[in-house]
Structure 1
Amino acid sequence: MWQSFTMKLLPGMAAEYQKRHDAIWPDLVNLLKQTGISEYAIFLDEQTLVLFAVLQVNDPLLLHDLPVHPVMQRWWHYMSDIMETNADASPVSIPLKPVFYLP
């Protein structure tokens, strides 16, 4: 099943965001894979600084455990200085409604 959402970078942080994802932590990659995420991509609209994320997950219910995992929380804190976040350091994330799919 595909899931998608948007997030937003702070001004001037696009290069840093790219740098941090180029060096993504192996334990975070393992966590995402163990959660059943088989594909995950993030795209940047450079004009608005909106990030568009799309991921494929076997069981969407498994995603509910990610926010409490220590690795996920460390990643959120690590990223919190370059993007819009909630009080718990999680990124402000807006789910998107699917309206079209071409297999």
Structure 2
Amino acid sequence: MESKAFKMKLLPGFEKEYKKRHDAIWPELSRLLAEKGIYDYSIFLDEETLTLFAVQKIKADAEVDKLFDEPVLRKWWDYMADIMETNPDNSPVERPLKMLFHMD
């Protein structure tokens, strides 16, 4: 098992919309993430800076690198592109976070 943490940036005024869209996450996207080895995924919001902090737990035999070519993931990126910082392909701008402490 591996943990991956990263941050993204929400555009101003879209806090409620971001939550609404994730509360109704597409079942096919959830299924795809699980199939590729992501079994625990949380996103937190710093309301002062609109920074999104994501943490994923990933199985040892995961195929996360294969996610980026999946049409449903690309469709989700397109769906979310109007409310967050994105790259030219509409993928969210992600900045990796380094783990400094973990307690079991």
2: CA distance, partners of 1:74 / 1:59? 27
2: CA distance, partners of 1:60 / 1:100? 24
% identical aligned pairs: 53
Partner of 1:73: 74
Residue 62 of structure 1 deviates from its aligned partner by 1.5
Partner of 1:16: 17
CA-to-aligned-CA distance 1:20-45 (integer Å, 9 cap, x gap): 00100000000000011110000000
Runs of 4+ in 1 over 4 A off after TM superposition: none
Partner of 2:46: 45
Partner of 1:89: 90
1: CA distance, partners of 2:67 / 2:49? 27
Q: Are the structure 2 counterparts of residues 40 and 73 from structure 1 closer, same or farther at C-alpha, using a change threshold of 3 Å?
A: same
Q: TM-score, normalised by structure 2?
A: 0.95
Give structure 1 stretches of 5+ with no counterpart. Answer: none
1: CA distance, partners of 2:47 / 2:28? 29
Give the aligned CA root-mean-square deviation in angstroms: 1.1
Residue 60 of structure 1 deviates from its aligned partner by 7.3
Contact 2:6-2:97 within 8 A present in 1 as well: yes
Number of residue equivalences:
103
2: CA distance, partners of 1:61 / 1:34? 8
Partner of 1:2: 3
Secondary structure at the aligned position of 2:17 is classed as helix
Secondary structure at the aligned position of 2:99 is classed as coil
Residue 59 of structure 1 deviates from its aligned partner by 3.2
CA-to-aligned-CA distance 1:40-66 (integer Å, 9 cap, x gap): 000000000000000100137611111
Q: TM-score, normalised by structure 1?
A: 0.96
Partner of 1:57: 58
2: CA distance, partners of 1:5 / 1:47? 18
